[in-house]
Structure 1
Amino acid sequence: MKLKYQASEGLSERNDEFDPGSIIDTLINHRKMIVAITMAFILVGALYAFCATPIYRASISIRVEDNSPTALPDSKDLVRNASSLFQEKSSAESEMQILRSKAIAMQTVDYLKLYIDAEPKRLPVLGGLIARHTDTRMTPGIFGWGGFVWGDESISVTTFEVPRKQEGNPYTVTALTGGQYQLRGPGLEQPVTGHVGVDEQFETSHGPVNLLVSKIDGESGAEFKLTRHSRQQALEQLQKGLQIDEQGNKSNVLGVMLEGRDPVLVTNILNDIGAVYVRQNVNQKGANAEKSLNYLEQQLPGAKRQMEQAEEAYNTYRNSHGLLDADEESRLILRQATEADSRLYDLKRQRQDLTAHLTAEHPSVVAIDQQIASTNKYVESLAARVKSMPSAEQGALRLMRDMRMTSDMYAALRSNIDTLRLVKAGQSASVQLLDTADVPERPVKPAKTLVLLIAAVLGLFVAIGLAFLRDYLFKGEADPEELESRTGLTVYATIPVSAQQEQLTQKMAIRGPEKLALAFRYPMDPAVEALRTMRAALQFALNGERNNVVMLAGPLPGIGKSFLSANLGTLLASGGKRVLLVDGDLRRGHLNQYFGLQRGAGLADLITGERSLEDTVHKDVLPNLDVLQCGEYPHDPAELLLSANFRATIRAASEQYDIVLLDAPAILAVSDTVTMAPVADSIFMVARFADTRAGEISESVKRLAQTGSKVEGILLNGFKVSRGNYAQSRRYGAYAYDAYYSDSVAK
């Protein structure tokens, strides 16, 4: 029997070639699992979206002005012009760091007592969900047990100080009648009782606990969770939660956001941070102005003394030389020299500022250098004019210049002191709180639509991944050529799934015994046509030899072996052969159902000698087809099959019939088939499409070989034509059967 299975054209030359059809197969075959897993993820996402604690977001906006001082000017600038205090610009980046700094955040932590965490005790998940949808108070606990609260109960704690070792450990406050409460927690051997509105002190094993509960809204028995965190932990949590960025490119407008479970609390935190930040900015500017004012007032007596000394020196020199007041030319030279000195000082300071971030070759620095050189030449020309004057007038001019410079310096000091006093009195911040935080009405998290979308996409990817993983780990062979190469056996036929057989199976369950063999009821079914291919090959192989006992076996139950036996026997009988169909499964055989037979005496009775072959066989259940049932299930089937009576029964049947078709039990499940195999002349292995694995077939062949039996080939059953085998249906004939007979019916 060496009829090789012929694969149609178009077969992939490489087994590992990427095949889109196989991907479609996997998705279709596991569509129910994919849908179920995806829906499960969506359900979990929906539970999270609707049960998770809402997160609210509040925000403030702060404008940073360009005239905020960052450093104290040098003494010459300060004396010349107090407005230099307000000419340097603030950096938005530096202000962002100041906003997040400990100096700002810690004031808010202390003011709002963020280190105290007091909240109602709620049942996880459901407690918060119920509380968010009710405005009334309910009886605490579950049937009075547990102290869980379900409504709008609340607690307000003004003071809560615990020993350092107990920071972060939760305490429990239980509301009592009469304005009292009970406190339980670490270090308290017994619950203690306190009064609402009273600053209480309780002694513990680690030190005293100070507690001031200012208000409790809740029924008696309601419990609240109370925790005292360290100030440092509260500070770090606040700093971590602040989201600060500049709104727009170089806009100098800072946006500060904070998220939290309590919309009122996050609003209060941001508004307090904004107020503290502005107040500190004002205080810092006032401190700078105070330092500058003190410095100028210290310089004022010395400047006055220098001015008086210069006036005295000038008057003394003029009297000693008998000089009158300076003429018009001397006054002009004096004014020009003073202005030139002042301009030269300004140019040098500008150059110093430029070279702090530019090189000497930069055009701006080069231009300043040219102006300095020009001014120096002008000063030198003025000096030359002075040298051309008489010596007495030169000395008077020099003293007059000193007198004027000291007088101008003194006047500038007086003016700037008055200016700084006005600035200090009317000091304003260089930052402005543009928008305060309003209590948010809607949560920003969880975003229900986004959560459901992510859950659906994630579930789909996980489901598809599991489908491919399951196929990789557990999927049986779906390619006949691959099955042949892995097992070394010939695939004689691929039998497609029959929709008609599924209907017959349903009728069998409803109506009871009836002749429901597919080959008898629907002879033109594609599955029957595939079995005709097997019949032709089998009859050709058996022709001319006394080789008429054929066994159909399979590795595991549920692969359709009995279905193939019943219909192959029907087809062999319809071809003119006298056929005996034997149900060899003494444990769970049910071949009788395909022919409408009630369970009765069968093979087990023949082996025990209680019945004869003639009395046990059901004659002509179909033309030329006799059926031998398995009989009542014995308690020792393996021992019965080992007996000589079994072999004698099969030999006797083979002499009376053209073909004896033996339906055997699963090889890997029980040892019965291995025991029966020696009586068979030809053995065919039944495999289920995409279910039976090559390793299972190989192991079954090995077990049969231990008794000297040889497997002739494979019948691949359950080939899915309409869907789930997109990659194979046209390649191995199953699609062709369907298409051919569909066209015939249409015609």
Structure 2
Amino acid sequence: MQQDKHNTSHNRGNHPQRLEAKPQDTLDLREFWKTLVRHKRMILVMSGATLALALLFTLGSKNVYRATATLQIERESTKVMNFDFLELSGDIRDTRDFYQTQFELIRSRALAAQVIKDLKLDDKLSSTSPLTSVKQWLGIASKPTEPSALENAFLENLSVEPVKTSRLVLVHYDSSNPEQAAQIANAVVATFQKMNTERRINTTDDAKTYLEASVKESKAKLDESVQRLNTYSKDNGIIISNGTIETTTSQTLNNLETQRLAVETQIAEKEHIYSTLSDKSKPMADRIGVLGSDAPFLQTSLKKLNGLEADNAKNTNAVLRKQIRQLLNEIGSAIDARKQSLPSEIEALKNKKMGIHDNVAKAKSDAIREQDRFIAYGTLRRQVEINQELYQDLFKRLNQVSIAGGIAANNIAIIDDAQVPLKKFKPNLLTNLSFGALLGMLLGISAAFLREFMDDTVKNANELERISQLAILGVVPEVLNNTPSQLAQLTIKEPKSSVAEAFRSLRTAMRFVLRNDNSVVFVTSACAGEGKSTTATNLACAYANAGSRVLLIDADLRNPSLHRTLDVHATTGLADYLQGNIDTSELVQATAFSNLSLIPAGKLPEDPSELLSSPSMKALLATARTEYDHILIDGPPVLGLADALVLASLADTTLIAVRAENTRMAAVTNALKRLRQANASLSGLLLNRVALHRGGSYGYDYSNYYYNDDKQTEAGAAKKGVVTTLRSLKLL
């Protein structure tokens, strides 16, 4: 069992302290349901009131008729000629944005003003909104006369509804006059179609006017740019040949580059010939062959040599060999002569190359100086090309717009005209009643939770234990239709009742708290009216019924009640004893119950706290310990009085009665704070008058448990069930 952490030497045993439970943050649906059950009457009342208001509103509202016309809105109009550049729908690329734009155009003020003007509706419009109906019901509504007010009234009755997965749009108009509803709905779609066509034609005309001005301006710019290009070409000697820009400098540079390549080729060829002629290890044919057609004598001599060598191979003789040697000498001399002339030729070619290089450098320098003129010419030429392209494009578009202006088709088509409605659209009795019932339930539930949030009375046993840091030793169910005297004697007179069982459970719990007899238990509460006297009396009866000698002391010297609840007639009591007017033989009174004695309060004194703290009170309790097994003190509430603190300091333990759904949590906390400051020993809490059938988190349930009485008849059981049901429905 739990003991208060502030207990001092008054404690009669070592008991473990209860650890403080942390509040749960999880969603508890059972707590929600119990909250609704506790406030079900308020929820039902608010639901019924809202339902009645919905019924009165429905019956008092005038009938509203809805006429509907059907439109087909295409993303783009049907094109007789495919002019993609002329997008009359604007720059709306998303289909949803396009259709939302069309819906807003239908509900635009311009369209509303046009329809009002065409149908002359200045004094025929009225709003059908619920707010206007309420104002008319209260007699404070007035007809709109200003143009903006007329447009607002018109637009309040106009609604647009797209048909899903199609390009159809339903245009609704609500009115108390069915003929007027159909007339206005048809006028809206016709005006919208007409305005759309006019807008497209105006767009074409505007585009044509703009393009004509643009073409004229572009033509002037083109002529001006061509004139500037021609003048610049003449002034700078620029020639256009086959579409290529040329000058004398560029032509000279190209010729020099050709000459340079030719000289480099000749130098490479002559160096190769010189290298081959110098290599005597190569065959004579290869050395002569490298000369090519430049040495016809050597080619002829080589053929003659080959013939002599062939003849000598067939028939050798001295004459042939002499001729061969003589021919070889002649060929060698010719080759050497040719080889000796090559270095000078190569040197001459290199000198020529240097001259060409110098000329190329000079030409490049001249070309660099001409580059700025080329850049300026290129800029002027590109400007001419751009202006020419712009002029051609604008001229082409102008011709297309001129054709499109007369053949543009409308993308709006009227599919169905609005018919005169035969049935009213609203008010709908079933819908309004359903909405009223739902709204009433929501308001009732909201009010229930608001009241639950604002109400800090004790409703949850776990929360009470967490805040008080004390154990709940028992829960006493609420008993209806009983007098205070009957409630105080239920433990003995109705031993099979749930109240008697609750106090027997409390008696058992107190046995574990005290763990010894002859203990003094002080029963109190935070405030008056929480059932502390009933608790003290029933607990005393429970002890007495178990065979223990019990003394019940009425120490509430300000508002005593035990002598009335136990039917004891006494003119003197505790106050008289403490004042020394009587002795103990006249103090204790017998009751109608065995083993239970009572000390009544006696005559009310002027200063009860002074008497209760006197040595006589301590002596009385010491004497009672020797004669009784249990001494119970019924005292005043803790808050506002010092008597309870005095009695708590004299008792071995203090039991605090808390009335469920009545005692505020702050009162319990303040009472415990005062008792702890007085170093009182606290045994625990008793939850009193718990209405289990209303819902709550108390951790106990006696409502479904009954003793099996063999004498109870089936009729009696049925009667008890009916009574329980009626009480749960608040009918008893």
TM-score by length of 1: 0.51
Deviations 1:518-559, CA, capped at 9 Å, x for gaps = 1111123343234334435656776877x5432111223343
Q: CA 1:514/1:38 → structure 2, altered by over 3 Å: closer, same or farther? A: closer
8 Å contact from structure 2 (residues 457, 660) kept in 1? no
Deviations 1:667-725, CA, capped at 9 Å, x for gaps = 13544312433332322222345766776544323312333322233334445666735
**Matching of residues 369-380 of structure 1 within 5 Å:** none
**Matching of residues 137-152 of structure 1 within 5 Å:** none
1:557 is aligned to 2:528:
yes
Q: CA 1:94/1:608 → structure 2, altered by over 3 Å: closer, same or farther? A: closer
Q: CA 1:618/1:53 → structure 2, altered by over 3 Å: closer, same or farther? A: farther
Q: CA 1:69/1:612 → structure 2, altered by over 3 Å: closer, same or farther? A: same
Q: Matched residues in 1 for 2:519 and 2:76: separation?
A: 109
Could you tell me which residue of structure 1 aligns to residue 725 of structure 2?
none
Q: CA 1:434/1:34 → structure 2, altered by over 3 Å: closer, same or farther? A: closer
1:450 is aligned to 2:431:
yes
8 Å contact from structure 1 (residues 515, 596) kept in 2? no
Q: CA 1:275/1:23 → structure 2, altered by over 3 Å: closer, same or farther? A: closer
8 Å contact from structure 1 (residues 270, 437) kept in 2? no
Structure 1 residue 662, shift from structure 2 partner? 1.1
2:150 to 230, 234, 254: 234
Q: Matched residues in 2 for 1:612 and 1:496: separation?
A: 37
Amino acid at match of 2:493: R
8 Å contact from structure 1 (residues 278, 433) kept in 2? no
Q: CA 1:438/1:237 → structure 2, altered by over 3 Å: closer, same or farther? A: same
Q: CA 1:104/1:484 → structure 2, altered by over 3 Å: closer, same or farther? A: closer
Q: CA 1:115/1:630 → structure 2, altered by over 3 Å: closer, same or farther? A: farther
Q: CA 1:497/1:635 → structure 2, altered by over 3 Å: closer, same or farther? A: same
Could you tell me which residue of structure 1 aligns to residue 474 of structure 2?
494
SS in structure 2 of the partner of residue 621 of structure 1: coil
**Matching of residues 274-285 of structure 1 within 5 Å:** none
1:677 to 631, 636, 648: 648
**Matching of residues 419-458 of structure 1 within 5 Å:** 434-438=416-420, 441-445=423-427, 447-458=428-439
1:521 to 493, 503, 507: 493
Could you tell me which residue of structure 1 aligns to residue 320 of structure 2?
none
Q: Matched residues in 1 for 2:513 and 2:194: separation?
A: 104
Q: CA 1:633/1:726 → structure 2, altered by over 3 Å: closer, same or farther? A: same
Q: Matched residues in 1 for 2:201 and 2:471: separation?
A: 99
**Higher-RCO chain (CA-CA 8 Å, sequence separation at least 6):** 2
More helix by share: 2
8 Å contact from structure 1 (residues 3, 537) kept in 2? no
Q: Matched residues in 2 for 1:26 and 1:73: separation?
A: 70
Q: Matched residues in 2 for 1:263 and 1:632: separation?
A: 87
Structure 1 residue 623, shift from structure 2 partner? 1.3
SS in structure 2 of the partner of residue 741 of structure 1: coil
**Matching of residues 504-515 of structure 1 within 5 Å:** 506-508=481-483
1:244 to 152, 160, 163: 160
1:270 is aligned to 2:185:
yes
**Matching of residues 73-152 of structure 1 within 5 Å:** 100=107, 104-111=111-118, 114=121, 128-129=136-137
Amino acid at match of 2:117: D
Q: CA 1:549/1:449 → structure 2, altered by over 3 Å: closer, same or farther? A: same
Amino acid at match of 2:172: M
Deviations 1:618-661, CA, capped at 9 Å, x for gaps = 42231122234445767765566566676666666666654331
Structure 1 residue 256, shift from structure 2 partner? 1.8
Could you tell me which residue of structure 1 aligns to residue 282 of structure 2?
none
Could you tell me which residue of structure 2 aligns to residue 741 of structure 1?
707
Amino acid at match of 1:520: I
Could you tell me which residue of structure 2 aligns to residue 686 of structure 1?
657
**Matching of residues 628-667 of structure 1 within 5 Å:** 628-630=599-601, 641=612, 657-667=628-638
Amino acid at match of 2:112: A
Could you tell me which residue of structure 2 aligns to residue 256 of structure 1?
171
Structure 1 residue 32, shift from structure 2 partner? 3.4
Structure 1 residue 663, shift from structure 2 partner? 1.2
Q: Matched residues in 1 for 2:177 and 2:580: separation?
A: 87
Q: Matched residues in 1 for 2:432 and 2:506: separation?
A: 56
Amino acid at match of 1:256: V
Q: Matched residues in 1 for 2:573 and 2:549: separation?
A: 19
SS in structure 1 of the partner of residue 495 of structure 2: coil
| Aligned residue pairs, count | 485
8 Å contact from structure 1 (residues 487, 694) kept in 2? no
SS in structure 1 of the partner of residue 707 of structure 2: helix
8 Å contact from structure 1 (residues 53, 128) kept in 2? no
Q: Matched residues in 2 for 1:725 and 1:96: separation?
A: 54
Q: CA 1:744/1:234 → structure 2, altered by over 3 Å: closer, same or farther? A: same
Amino acid at match of 1:243: S
Q: CA 1:469/1:2 → structure 2, altered by over 3 Å: closer, same or farther? A: farther
Q: Matched residues in 1 for 2:68 and 2:490: separation?
A: 75
Structure 1 residue 255, shift from structure 2 partner? 2.9
Q: CA 1:62/1:563 → structure 2, altered by over 3 Å: closer, same or farther? A: same
Could you tell me which residue of structure 1 aligns to residue 67 of structure 2?
58
Q: Matched residues in 1 for 2:26 and 2:178: separation?
A: 58
Q: Matched residues in 1 for 2:630 and 2:698: separation?
A: 37
**Matching of residues 585-624 of structure 1 within 5 Å:** 585-597=556-568, 602-604=573-575, 614-615=585-586, 617-624=588-595
Amino acid at match of 2:426: V
Amino acid at match of 1:31: K
Q: Matched residues in 1 for 2:545 and 2:75: separation?
A: 103
Could you tell me which residue of structure 1 aligns to residue 260 of structure 2?
none
Q: CA 1:719/1:248 → structure 2, altered by over 3 Å: closer, same or farther? A: closer
Amino acid at match of 1:702: K
Structure 1 residue 616, shift from structure 2 partner? 6.0
Could you tell me which residue of structure 2 aligns to residue 714 of structure 1?
685
TM-score by length of 2: 0.52
Q: Matched residues in 2 for 1:430 and 1:19: separation?
A: 57
Structure 2's unaligned 5+ residue stretches are: 1-11, 84-97, 204-395, 401-405, 714-732
Q: Which deviates more, 682-691 or 642-651?
A: 642-651
1:567 is aligned to 2:538:
yes
Structure 1 residue 592, shift from structure 2 partner? 3.8
**Matching of residues 283-298 of structure 1 within 5 Å:** none
Q: CA 1:529/1:126 → structure 2, altered by over 3 Å: closer, same or farther? A: same
Q: Matched residues in 1 for 2:607 and 2:61: separation?
A: 61
Q: Matched residues in 1 for 2:40 and 2:112: separation?
A: 55
Give the share of equivalent positions with the same residue, in percent.
25
Q: Matched residues in 1 for 2:443 and 2:573: separation?
A: 51
Q: CA 1:540/1:710 → structure 2, altered by over 3 Å: closer, same or farther? A: closer
Q: Matched residues in 2 for 1:60 and 1:599: separation?
A: 94
More strand by share: 1
Could you tell me which residue of structure 2 aligns to residue 31 of structure 1?
40
Q: Matched residues in 1 for 2:14 and 2:175: separation?
A: 76
Deviations 1:160-183, CA, capped at 9 Å, x for gaps = xxxxxxxxxxxxxxxxxxxxxxxx
Structure 1 residue 28, shift from structure 2 partner? 3.5
Q: Matched residues in 1 for 2:640 and 2:57: separation?
A: 46
8 Å contact from structure 1 (residues 476, 690) kept in 2? yes
Rg (Cα) greater in structure = 2
SS in structure 2 of the partner of residue 228 of structure 1: coil
8 Å contact from structure 2 (residues 554, 562) kept in 1? yes
Q: Matched residues in 2 for 1:35 and 1:440: separation?
A: 38
Amino acid at match of 2:474: T
Q: Matched residues in 2 for 1:600 and 1:618: separation?
A: 11
Amino acid at match of 1:107: Q
1:476 to 446, 458, 478: 458
Structure 1 residue 517, shift from structure 2 partner? 0.1
SS in structure 2 of the partner of residue 444 of structure 1: coil
8 Å contact from structure 1 (residues 62, 254) kept in 2? yes
